[in-house]
């Protein structure tokens, strides 16, 4: 009987009942109805009636299974799930959705209809646990007005599309295209002495004329120098073929950056009538407007630099940012 005054009486008053007993039956029915309705509907307890009808609460008793489909209706009911009474709906199409799970709402997921938004207030959090948040549809967008903060990691503030990664940002992601372009950014060039030998009649450092080209990744070679145009570390290799050098004379090959020497290699001639190839190698950091050139020097004071792609050349290859 619970909190009710008495059990509900389904018996019918006999046709032979005296009129004097009908008042008692009516009063009993009033008590039965009042006991059951005042817990659910406002207005059955003194002081509750403000002229606006309303429900206090609804109790859903646990069902043994899903109800039978009824046309033009949707049913709200309760069913046992692992010992808990959970709330369900079932529509006329037979679609069943679990609404609650162990004290939380949305056990069956929340589906937003087309054109609808899931919006939190400026101070609220939308928490997704153990599963995923999916934006469906060909034109679906996820808009983040602030930072994308994954706990215990760096907050991401945006996505950049920079082929050279010039921003060097610790809080921006890169697009797939820019990552691919940066990884494949093979800045390189090789030039060599082609037309004729170069006679040097001085003991001073002299720039080598390099008028031939083996390869060039992007028109970065010209006017006897290579200007890569991209910031980074470069492997630079130069070589010069010295001819007509007297015995016991030094021969010096130098790599210049922006008109100043940064690397050199030197050997001493042994005998006469030989050609000596003197290489110079270094790893050099270059800005976008820096350039490299090939220089030679000898204390002979009167010698030549021979032609040939395999004799006198300057090559550059980007190897790191």
pLDDT in tens, the chain (321 residues): 456 666 666 666 666 655 566 566 666 667 777 766 776 776 666 666 666 667 777 778 888 889 888 888 999 999 988 888 898 899 999 999 888 887 777 655 666 666 666 666 666 666 665 555 555 555 556 666 677 677 667 778 888 998 877 888 888 889 998 887 776 667 999 999 999 999 998 889 999 999 999 999 889 999 999 999 989 999 999 999 999 889 999 999 999 999 999 999 999 998 877 789 999 999 999 998 999 999 999 999 889 999 999 999 999 999 887
Q: Which residues pair with 189 in a beta bridge?
A: 216, 316
Question: Is there a single domain that holds both residue 211 and residue 311?
Answer: yes
Q: How many domains does the chain have?
A: 4
In a domain, 294, yes or no: yes
Q: Single out the residue of 275, 247, 251, 248 nearest to residue 264, CA to CA.
A: 251
Question: Alpha helices, DSSP H only, in 108-165?
Answer: none
Among 36, 56, 76, where does a domain finish? 56
**Contacting residues for 48 by C-beta, under 8 A, at least 6 apart:** 42
Does 127 map to a domain? no
Give yes or no: residues 8 and 70 share one domain: no
Q: Are 155 and 148 in contact (CB under 8 A)?
A: yes
* In a shared domain, residues 283 and 169: no
Examine the domain organization and report whether 303 and 239 are in the same domain: yes
| 176/192 same-domain check | no
In 3D space, the residue among 203, 186, 225 whose CA is nearest the CA of residue 318 turns out to be 186
Write down the pLDDT at residue 255: 98
Residue 159 inside a domain? The answer is: yes
Give residue 83's region: left, alpha or beta (phi > 0; psi -120 to 50). Answer: left
Residues 157 and 245 in one domain: no
| C-alpha 71, offset from chain centre | 48
Query: 290 lies in a domain?
Result: yes
CB 226 within 8 A of CB 241: no
Residue where a domain stops, chosen among 157, 182, 207 = 182
Place of tokens 């043994």: 64
Residue pair 285/248 in contact (Cβ under 8 Å)? The answer is no
Range of the domain at 6: 1-56
Identify whether residues 168 and 275 lie together within a single domain.
Answer: no
Q: Provide the whole-model pTM.
A: 0.49
**Same domain assignment for residues 246 and 310:** yes
What local confidence, expressed as pLDDT, does residue 252 receive?
96
Coil, strand, or helix at residue 22? helix
Last residue of a domain, one of 182, 205, 234: 182
């Amino acid at each position: 009987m619970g909190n009710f005054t008495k059990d509900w009486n389904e018996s019918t008053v006999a046709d032979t009942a005296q009129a004097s007993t009908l008042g008692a039956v009516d009063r009993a029915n009033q008590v039965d109805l009042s006991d059951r309705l005042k817990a659910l509907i406002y207005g059955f307890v003194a002081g509750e009636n403000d002229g606006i009808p309303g429900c206090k609460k609804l109790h859903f008793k646990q069902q043994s299974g899903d109800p039978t489909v009824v046309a033009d209706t949707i049913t709200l009911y309760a069913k046992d799930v692992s010992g808990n009474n959970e709330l369900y709906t079932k529509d006329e199409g037979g679609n069943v959705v679990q609404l609650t799970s162990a004290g939380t709402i949305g056990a069956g997921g929340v589906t937003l209809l087309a054109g609808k938004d899931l919006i939190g207030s400026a101070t609220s959090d939308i928490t997704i646990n153990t599963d995923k948040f999916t934006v469906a549809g060909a034109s679906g967008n996820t808009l983040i007005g602030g930072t994308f903060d994954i706990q215990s990691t760096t907050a991401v503030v945006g996505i950049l599309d920079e082929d050279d990664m010039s921003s060097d940002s610790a809080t921006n992601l890169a697009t797939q295209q820019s990552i691919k372009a940066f990884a494949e950014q093979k800045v390189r060039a090789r030039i060599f002495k082609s037309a004729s030998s170069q006679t040097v009649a001085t003991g001073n450092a002299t720039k080598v004329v390099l008028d031939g080209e083996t390869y060039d990744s992007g028109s970065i070679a010209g006017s006897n120098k290579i200007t890569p145009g991209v910031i980074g570390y470069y492997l630079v290799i130069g070589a010069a073929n010295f001819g007509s050098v007297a015995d016991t004379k030094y021969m010096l090959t130098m790599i210049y950056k922006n008109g100043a020497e940064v690397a050199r290699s030197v050997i001493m001639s042994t005998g006469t009538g030989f050609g000596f190839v003197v290489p110079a190698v270094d790893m050099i950091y270059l800005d976008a407007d820096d350039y490299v050139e090939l220089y030679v020097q000898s204390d002979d004071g009167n010698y030549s630099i021979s032609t040939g792609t395999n004799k006198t050349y300057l090559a550059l290859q980007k190897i790191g940012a």
